[in-house]
Chains A and B, each alone.
Chain A
Amino acid sequence: MAEKIIELKNVTKYFDDNLVIDNISFYVKKGEFITFLGPSGCGKTTTLRMIAGFDLPTSGQILLNGKDVSQLPPNKRPVNTVFQRYALFPHLNVFENIAFGLRCKKVENTYENSKGERYTKRERLSKKEISEKVKKALEIVDLEGFEKRSISTLSGGQQQRVAIARAIVNEPEILLLDEPLGALDLKMRKEMQIELKEIHRRLGITFIYVTHDQEEALTMSDTIVVMADGVVQQIGTPKGIYDEPANTFVADFIGESNIFNGKVVGEKQVKFCGKTFACLDEFGLNEIVDVVVRPEDLKMCAPEEGMLKGEVLSVVFKGIHYEITVQVGKYEIVVQSTESREIGEKIGLCVSPDGIHLMKPRYTSNVFDGVITKRNTVEFADGEFDCDVTQLYPGSRLDEEDYLITAAGEKIDLTGVEVRVEVGLSDISISDDAEAGGTTGHIISIIYKGDHYRLIVRTEEEEEDFVLSTDDLWNENDFVSVIIPKDKIKLTLKNQEAKK
């Protein structure tokens, strides 16, 4: 096994009171090209910045070659960064930008004096050494002869190359790249992807790359770390992650996916879209699972031969393939094919067992910590909801003063009692009328599951998440209120020794 060059152990990071990185641990092998992939705000850049030393972890350790560097300042770490907006020094020309790090550096030289004694001196690099190294770095990024150019006269792509040269000239053990291609146009980006990969091959050092572009990650990386909400979702090779996503988030984020709710009905048998399919993953009988089918794993065939029958809803030409949406019963299924179909055409769909991926659902219900208020409502997730408190004590009832009378005739004041609140995914509805529900929040995630959408609504203050299913189409970041019917709120006492 290759040497671990950097290892994160239980790293957690708070910005003020916001949890940005939630206890992540992983390691990077020497010489590999590793990518942190995730949507914006998932903590990938923060992780990179902690490795560079710009942010310090709140807790946990960062080990570099086995030594703890978590508290070292950036200038004491053998890593260099290519910044998102390049961060080139505007007052220096190309040569001086690249030479900046070399001029800061001191090397140990050994000399022999007239008596033949050897001694070492810490010295700055000589002018000649610096200009040779800069020249070499410029050659690597294909910018020979640009030494005297001022930064402001360079194009975006050229600035990008200078930024890379400025970092690699210091011969770091790890090169960190923070969305370095984000500001370039598509064609340029593709070219730079290949070139970066080539530079990685030539230098042989470890590259840690941050991007939100899944295609970029798949193209360039040896290993991908998929992150969301400050948590590592999956670590694996590009192929491994694409073929066997660990959960629906990864499946949805990387590549196109059809995601369905399914149920295991037998050994390697799963039922979804109203049909039973053979599959390769083993789960317990009757277990509820998420089913992921990649659009390219679905084959179109004659209606009578298909496992699923449907009608073509739309056909979009995508260059290499057609993206065909098929209405199967109440489900919409996306298929990729090099063949086109007519809209309205009846077709069948086939999928082989290795095209069906089963995974444990990320969410089965919503659980919150709540407190019973004076008015016999329950307070949780920044809001207050009507609920039936009599379910806490079987056989109990409320008297006219709203005190709870237990089956044994005991009178209980429930005010301030801590309870566990459970709400099913399909029992929550949302509305754009802020007054309509018990609490409000923003939609932070939307995943289409064939016949419905699975949304996550996050409240503003406590950042509690409600996971819910809806047939309606909403947009990410919509501000909504969360409505839960009184009889759908399941309460259990948190502390069985509740005050009497």
Chain B
Amino acid sequence: MKIPRFSRKTLGIPYAVFLLFFVIIPMLVILFYAFTTGVKDPVTGAESFSFSFSNFLRFFSDPTKLSTIVYSLVIALVTTVLCLLIAYPVAYILARSKLKKKFVILMLFVLPMWINFVLRVNALREIFNLLSLAPALEGLTSANYFKTIFGMVYDFLPFMILPLYTTIMKIDQSLYEASADLGGGAFTTFTRVTLPLSMPGIMSGVTMVFLPSMTNYVVSDMLGNAKVTIIGKFIYEYFGNDWHMGSMVALVLLIVVFLSSWLSGGFTADENVRGTNL
């Protein structure tokens, strides 16, 4: 019997097909819609497209849209920074502790990820509603931004903890010893060994929190009383009636995301250079 032998090339075909149909073509479609306007023929119902920059101009001349982009960026930024500030100590302590059952504690932090996301956000909303019944916490009813960011931090924290934990775990114990041996105190060891070596974990954690928190409008809708609009919400709404504008917003978001990852990527490279010239 002849055993069929697959070359790497043949094994790659399904993935190439996937990429073509689910990544490249949709991208082209978005690009196409973003730079066209459609006119519906009232008789036949057929739509005729014409190339135009009008979506582009409409987007950038509309102050609400621009401010939404800025809001989304600020919310995502604040969420990411808060996640990082909360997650780093947790990951650091867990990774370096000698506890035998530390994975149990890690699991407890990650466990909420296994519970339905909408359910969690709903529960959080109910808790906020309950709390705002207390006269002292009345202000909570209208603290829409606070609640949105709280919900996002709560939801995205595990995505920050996990990569940080794995990176810090991988740092060779003897490097801490080497630092102490060379006269480095706890602070020096942290800033000059631990922090630079956990940079890859910080970067992947930031990416995994920053991007979703720009687009995840479920949290902002449910916790922000629909008063907080982020860019993801925009796209969702436009695709109801105006695909052209929706595609333009999606395209702008894509560019913003690309720019921010490129900047953060550039930041890591920069960090290395700085490390060597300290």
Chain A positions within 8 Å of B, measured between CB atoms, are: 52-54, 73-75, 79-81, 83-85, 87-93, 95-96, 100-101, 103-105, 166-167, 170
Q: Give per-residue flags for B182-203: 1 if the beta carbon is below 8 A from chain A beta carbons, else 0.
A: 1111001000110011010000
Partner of B275, one of A96, A104, A170: A96
Docked-complex contact B197 and A90, CB < 8 angstroms: yes
CB of A58, distance to nearest CB on chain B (Å): 17
Closest to B173 in A: A87
- Do residues B181 and A52 form an inter-chain contact, with CB atoms below 8 A? yes
Measured CB to CB, the closest approach of chain B to A177, in angstroms, equals 12
Return chain B residues, CB-CB under 8 Å to A170. Answer: 182-183
CA–CA, A103 and B183, complex, Å: 9
Within the complex, the shortest CB–CB distance from B179 to chain A, in Å, comes to 7
Where chain A touches its partner, the secondary structure class is: mixed
Residue in A84, A90, A101 whose beta carbon sits within 8 Å of that of B182 in the complex = A101
Chain B residues whose CB sits within 8 angstroms of the CB of A166 once the complex forms: 178, 182
Residues of A within 8 A of B196 (CB): 91
Q: Return chain A residues, CB-CB under 8 Å to B175.
A: 87, 89
| Alpha-carbon gap, A73 to B178, bound state (A) | 12
Residues of chain A within 8 A (CB-CB) of B278 are 96, 103
CB within 8 Å of A: which residues of B? Answer: 172, 174-175, 177-185, 188, 192-193, 196-197, 199, 272, 275-276, 278
* Residues in chain B near residue A85, CB distance under 8 A: 172, 174
- Given the known A-B contacts A89-B193, A92-B275, A96-B278, are A101 and B174 also in contact in the complex, defined by CB atoms under 8 Å? no
- List, sorted by A's number, 28 A–B pairs whose CB atoms are closer than 8 Å: A52-B181, A53-B181, A54-B180, A74-B177, A75-B181, A75-B184, A79-B181, A81-B178, A81-B181, A83-B174, A83-B177, A87-B172, A87-B174, A87-B175, A89-B178, A89-B179, A89-B193, A92-B275, A96-B276, A96-B278, A101-B182, A101-B183, A103-B278, A104-B184, A104-B185, A166-B178, A166-B182, A167-B182
6 A-B pairs besides A91-B272, A92-B276 with CB distance below 8 A are: A52-B177, A75-B184, A89-B197, A93-B276, A105-B183, A170-B183
With contacts A85-B174, A87-B174, A91-B197 taken as known, whether A74 is within 8 angstroms of B181 at the C-beta atoms is yes
CA–CA, A94 to B174, complex, Å? 18
| Pairwise interchain contact A100-B179, C-beta atoms closer than 8 A | yes
Which chain A residue has the least Cβ–Cβ distance from B178? A87
**Complex interface: chain B residues within 8 A of A167 (CB):** 181-182
Q: Closest Cβ of chain A: how far from B103's Cβ, in Å?
A: 21
Complex Cα distance, B183 from A167, in Å, reads 11
Chain A residues with CB below 8 A from B276, complex form: 92-93, 95-96
Q: Which of B180, B197, B199, B275 contacts A75 (CB 8 A)?
A: B180
A190 CB to closest chain B CB, in angstroms? 26
User: Do A73 and B182 touch across chains, with their CB atoms under 8 A apart?
Assistant: no
Q: Within 8 Å CB of A83, what residues of B?
A: 174, 177-178
Given contacts A73-B180, A91-B275, contact A100 B192 (CB under 8 A): yes
Cα–Cα distance between A105 and B172 once the two chains are bound (Å): 24
Complex interface: chain A residues within 8 A of B192 (CB): 100
Task: Give the complex CA separation of A170 and B183 in angstroms.
Answer: 9
Which residues on the A side are within 8 Å of B188 (C-beta)? 104
B64–chain A nearest beta-carbon distance, Å: 45
Q: Are B174 and A104 in contact (CB under 8 A)?
A: no
Chain B neighbourhood of A84, CB < 8 A: 174
How distant is the Cα of A52 from the Cα of B174 in the complex, in angstroms?
13
**Among A53, A81, A84: residue with most chain B CB under 10 A:** A81
**Complexed CA–CA distance, A92 and B181 (Å):** 17
A269 and B169 CA atoms in complex are apart in Å by 63
Closest A residue to B171 using CB positions: A90
